[in-house]
Chains A and B, each alone.
Chain A
Amino acid sequence: MLVPWQGGPRRATAWMRGREQRLAGTIVEFDRVGLRYGTGAEVLRDLDFRLNEGGFYFLTGPSGAGKTSLLKLLYLAQRPTRGRMSVFGDELAHAPREALPLYRRRIGVVFQDFRLIRHLSAFDNVALPLRIAGHGEAEVEGPVREMLAWVGLADRASARPPTLSGGEQQRVAIARAVIARPELLIADEPTGNVDAAMAQRILHLLTAMNRLGTTVIVATHDLGLIAATPGAQLIRLENGALVDPTGALRNPPGRPAEQGA
């Protein structure tokens, strides 16, 4: 059922197992959330929505609509300036700063500009979340090799990011985002810098994670990507506000991932 990477394992590997059964529930809830940078105008206004656990969401909207800003709120790199925001059932809009690292460890992020550490090998980049979470080297080596194989980069483990192609860097970024089995996976235009074939491969990796129970939210303009993902739900942003005429985002119908499965 897992879409294998060429040469990768044919089935869900050990680190992926054990996540397949989750109860459907709300993983993220925004309640009239607003965001402004400094003293500027609000770039996000009155955001009201819920994300279901195990769902697959596309965040769309024109450039400058606030997609990246919304994702930053989700991966706790930015605090809302207004409203309430709960993640994993905990109110985090005003959570103390020291509480945030533990939540961040439950969230995987694929940044638009990858943000790989240039002077570290692909292996060390992918291993970073495990090491930060305090895993010893014995618990790092195997999973990282396996993960690099899964994204088709088994033979590039010791390469540094500047020597990798855009698509390869993107896959290292995805491997790093999912190595610690996040409950929430966030990707900001993950196919923005790659060709169509690579975009398809990357989408396969994201949907594979989703099938294993990870909630996935992907910001994209790529209509082809959306069309290729049945069962995914669309969140449309325009001018910092949600376009939700049916109210489906406020009160989502069931678990979307199951509908397309």
Chain B
Amino acid sequence: MKSVIPREVETLWTLFTAPVVWAVHFLVCYVGFAVYCAKALSLHLSFDAVRIGLGVFTLLALAMIVLSAYLAWRQWGYGTGDPPHDAPTRQDRKHFQGFATLLLSGLSFIAVLYMAIPMIFIAECQR
């Protein structure tokens, strides 16, 4: 049976997945509200519609980060070995990268949450 979860790939790129999701989320939220506020008169969208739309996007971003964390956890060997993983072996390199990715995913998760908090309270566009 083919797994839905991606095969384990050995590349540095997976390390950046979560921070990239965080950066994209950050930009989409800022730019989204800015564009909305600049064009609110010609767009037939309420402020709350934008808020909910970006809320859904936030959930998507969080899901991406959780997936990235899960893959990192797998790469780390599900926590079977303890850090620091500093032996010059292939296995340790893999585990080290998995652990680092897991920590970065945690950081990005919290960052996306913090970014979302102001979106709950922001009240309207300033003109």
Say whether A and B bind each other: no
Chain A residues within 8 Å of B, Cβ to Cβ: none
